[in-house]
Structure 1
């Protein structure tokens, strides 16, 4: 999907409706560039979603000028989980397209305590064959270096 097509979908975006005040939410943080609100289906009480005010679909789509404000707000929320809720830490996650239930960038900040029952990602694990890890690393380095 092109950035223009993604932007066209912003009108039907439930997170844009929260940002604009059209839909109610339990807002916990508002900055010039971000809004954070409680998830209506929390993993644990206090589970918060952070979104950019601007309709952006995935983290790779986030403009460079919003990276620092977005990460700063994420950091503030992670600290607040400990201070305000007595959590021992937090889980911070972003889905890009796969498992992304709303097509608007959102970061989950979830309070965590030892023994809370959350047992990781439940992802299957695999192993690299001999030499395969080096090949994967090389492919990623090439992509990061602009395809060189």
Structure 2
């Protein structure tokens, strides 16, 4: 297997801390955690981006995120949980994965403002029309 994500998800990569798995997914501790308990959920089948997930795997990812969010809240008492998935060129693993990150006030994790003004807030109606039109014809 050439894909690191596939090797991690399928238990081939050494040193991986798997905390939960089933036939579709593996949930591991991130090796560079933002906070203690930072987890990754990876499909066992190679998938690059979220839109490539089959329905069963997508469901397994979401069910695992629910189960593990409950565990993180119980064990680490965070102020909240951030769940995110980075796709395209922002997917540094080159294998679809979802982050579950326990969050605490003033932990330094940020959702920043755009670096450049883009005016998207002025085009909400047009953006909605583009998306609903595409969805109606897909």
Alpha carbon RMSD of aligned pairs, Å?
1.9
Unaligned runs of at least 5 residues, structure 2: none
Q: Could you tell me how far apart the structure 1 residues matched to 2:17 and 2:5 are? A: 12
Superposition misfits of 4+ residues, deviation over 6 angstroms: none
1:97 to 2:88 alignment: yes
- In the TM superposition, what whole-angstrom CA distance separates every residue of 1:2-24 from its partner, at most 9, and x where no partner exists? xxxxxxxxx21112112232212
Distance 1:129 1:75 in 2: 31
Report the number of matched residues: 136
Higher RCO (C-alpha under 8 Å, 6+ residues apart)? 2
After TM superposition, the score normalised by the length of structure 1 is: 0.82
Q: Are 1:115 and 2:109 an aligned pair?
A: no
For 2:109, what is the secondary structure of its paired residue? coil
TM-score (norm 2): 0.87
Unmatched 5+ stretches in structure 1: 1-10
Contact 1:81 1:89 in 2 (8 A): no
Cα 1:86/1:139, change in 2 over 3 Å:
same
Separation in 1, partners of 2:7, 2:133: 39
